[in-house]
Structure 1
Amino acid sequence: MASFTDLETWKQARKIRNTISGLVKEFPVEEKYRLTDQIVRSSRSIGNNLAEGHGRFHYQDNIRFCIMARGSLTETLDHLIVALDEKIITDETLRTFQAEYESCLRLINAYIQYLKTKKGAVD
């Protein structure tokens, strides 16, 4: 891969980031420095970690950043569950996001497995 932007995993993370960016524009003003800020940061962190890991020299470093991306993805889901509990979003909005979450999670896990295979071939 020439660039992290070629990774299907990163493309899915970008899609999630853009979805969240549009969604939070509808959040209440009083959530701006609470939930809105938290969810924007965690959604951006998914792709950021995938990009940073891709730029690392060793497979193990890349794997570590993929694991952090997976954590940020899960954190983003948790923030949306909070938004549901606070009645900021609907059940339908959460279900739609969960489908995107599952897709991204599968891609990250597959990418981690691929990197582990490559790492094993080098050891």
Structure 2
Amino acid sequence: MEDLLVWQKARILCKEIHLLIKAGAFSADQKLLDQINRSSSSIMDNLAEGFGRQGLGEFLNYIRIALGSAVEVKSQLYRSIDRNYISSERFTHLLGLTEEIIKMSYGLKKKIIENSAERKSN
């Protein structure tokens, strides 16, 4: 799993969200703090769990779950900037990282589907 670039990016996002939380960025909003912490962790964890599963179908399912969590993080980042919990610079950076993870996840999903179809045709 450590070789998956998307997992590596998800790990960076998870760590950066954790550092924000640790610095007190969300101290006024425990619910949002919990949500963004869980969502960012879920991306990384679901990519790892899917990678560890036996079947490609299961891996695809976990990628879908990770994608859903990444979209949740995007929404939570918007709530964070709207409530002035994070700076616009931090927002832009984290949003860009999250969007990169989403694109990479879609790319991985597409590659798995294409490889699976190729195997079936051979």
- How high is the TM-score relative to the length of structure 1? 0.89
**Structure 1: where are the runs of 5+ without partners?**
none
Does residue 120 of the first structure (1) align with residue 103 of the second (2)?
no
Task: String of CA shifts for 1:30-68, please: whole Å, max 9, x gaps.
Answer: 323x11111000000001110111111111111111011
Identity of aligned residues (%): 28
**Unaligned segments of structure 2, at least 5 residues:** none
Q: Counterpart of 2:43?
A: 46
Paired position in structure 2 for 1:18: 15
Q: 1:29 aligns with which of 27, 35, 41?
A: 27
SS of the counterpart of 2:2?
A: helix
Asked if 2 retains the 8 angstrom alpha-carbon contact of 1:56 and 1:62, the reply is yes
Contact 1:59–1:118 at 8 Å: present in 2 too? no
- Name 2:83's counterpart in structure 1: 86
After TM superposition, give the deviation of residue 76 of structure 1 in Å.
0.7
Deviation (angstroms), 1:28? 4.3
Structure 2 residue 18 is matched with structure 1 residue 9 = no
| Amino acid aligned to 1:31 | D
Post-superposition CA distance 1:3-41 (Å, at most 9, x none): x11100100000100010011222243323x11111000
- Counterpart of 2:43 in structure 1: which amino acid? I
Aligned residues, how many? Answer: 119
More divergent stretch after superposition (37-46 vs 55-64):
55-64
CA spacing shift, 1:28–1:94, aligned 2, 3 Å:
closer
Q: TM-score, normalised by structure 2?
A: 0.90
Partner of 1:100: 97
Contact 2:81 2:91 in 1 (8 A): yes
